[in-house]
């Protein structure tokens, strides 16, 4: 029985298609207006400047928007893009343009684990504000109260073992007693290298071809949260 659970979002608690077909197009459409309206706010400007610097110091906001839209199309998990997307999605959630998808088994199991006193943490490429919005406006209602902490790529990339070392240090639970859940085997490999317990969430809706044997890199595999067999 783990002492804490660390979970990914996209492809794990929630469908990839919601992120790709609802959230990303919403951010892509809204980006030009968002940058025009809020591009001078320091909390927005710092990320736009980071994008400009990374692209050889491009100067116009129009070009920065084009770079960001290209990154959305490529599904780049870039910290600046993720921070800006989170700010844009806030409007969508607040005006109820959408609610965040969560698989019913994930919502029910997270509720049960929380009720049993098992601390729950999120680690996603989505920014921490975006994670809070996501679980605050989910199909199952406001689930933010279930979580004891939130981590994004400001702590490090999801395919780097050091990120998981930093997370377990922040959580204060020995690595071997933290169970990390993800749909991406490379993320699980990094977590295992850092000593965490791992499980591959292999959802049929997201991955029609089951990833068994070598494809699962030896990580225990489950198609749903309730089938993980983790108490209570
Ligand atoms: C929680 S914000 C929406 C998801 C997102 O932008 C993303 O990149 C999710 O990646 P994950 O690390 O949760 O697979
Ligand atoms: Mg994922």
Round to the nearest angstrom and report the end-to-end CA distance of the chain. Answer: 9
State whether 23 and 11 are in the same domain. no
State whether 48 and 116 are in the same domain. no
b/e code 102-123 from CB counts within 10 Å (16+ = b): bbebbbebbeebbeeebbbbbb
The CATH number covering residue 27 comes to 1.10.720.60
State whether 112 and 198 are in the same domain. yes
Tokens 């959230």, located at residue: 23
State whether 41 and 10 are in the same domain. no
* ipTM of model: 0.97
| Domain end residue (candidates: 94, 125, 143) | 94
What is the length of the chain?
A: 232
State whether 67 and 132 are in the same domain. no
The number of angstroms, rounded, from the C-alpha of 211 to the middle of its chain's C-alpha atoms is: 21
Is the Cβ atom of 18 under 6 angstroms away from ligand 1?
Answer: no
The CATH number covering residue 188 comes to 3.40.50.1000
Please give the chain's pLDDT, 232 residues, in tens. 999 999 999 999 999 999 999 999 999 999 999 999 999 999 999 999 999 999 998 879 999 999 999 999 999 999 999 999 999 999 999 999 999 999 999 999 999 999 999 999 999 999 999 999 999 999 999 999 999 999 999 999 999 999 999 999 999 999 999 999 999 999 999 999 999 999 999 999 999 999 998 999 999 999 999 999 997 7
Q: Phi and psi dihedrals of 155, rounded to 5?
A: -85, -10
State whether 118 and 61 are in the same domain. no
Mutate which of 17, 78, 125 for ligand 1 pocket (most atoms within 8 A of beta carbon) = 125
- 98 vs 134: CA distance, rounded Å: 10
State whether 80 and 106 are in the same domain. no
Number of domains in the chain: 2
Mutate which of 12, 80, 85, 124 for ligand 1 pocket (most atoms within 8 A of beta carbon) = 124
Distance, CA 66 to ligand 2 centroid (Å)? Answer: 25
- 89 vs 70: CA distance, rounded Å: 18
State whether 114 and 183 are in the same domain. yes
Is the Cβ atom of 72 under 6 angstroms away from ligand 1?
Answer: no
Q: Which domain holds residue 193?
A: 4-15+100-228
């Amino acid at each position: 029985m783990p002492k804490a659970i660390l979970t990914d979002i996209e492809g794990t608690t929630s469908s990839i298609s919601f992120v790709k077909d609802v959230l990303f197009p919403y951010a892509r459409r809204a980006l030009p207006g968002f940058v025009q309206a809020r591009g001078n706010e320091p909390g927005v400007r710092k990320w736009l400047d980071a994008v400009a610097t990374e692209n050889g110091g491009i100067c116009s906001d129009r070009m920065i928007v084009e770079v960001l839209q290209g990154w959305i199309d490529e599904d780049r998990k870039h910290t600046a893009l993720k921070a800006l997307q989170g700010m844009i999605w806030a409007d969508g959630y607040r005006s109820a343009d959408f609610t965040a998808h969560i698989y019913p088994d994930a919502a029910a199991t997270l509720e049960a684990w929380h009720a049993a006193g098992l601390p729950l943490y999120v680690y996603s490429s989505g920014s921490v504000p975006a994670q809070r919005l996501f679980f605050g406006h989910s199909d199952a209602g406001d689930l933010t109260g279930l979580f004891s902490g939130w981590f994004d790529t400001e702590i490090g990339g999801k395919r780097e073992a050091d990120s998981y070392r930093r997370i377990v240090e922040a959580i204060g639970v020995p690595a071997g007693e933290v169970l990390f859940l993800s749909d991406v085997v490379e993320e699980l490999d990094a977590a295992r290298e850092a000593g965490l317990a791992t499980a591959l969430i292999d959802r049929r809706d997201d991955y029609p071809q089951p990833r068994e044997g070598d494809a699962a890199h030896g990580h225990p595999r489950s198609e749903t949260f309730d089938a993980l067999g983790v108490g209570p």
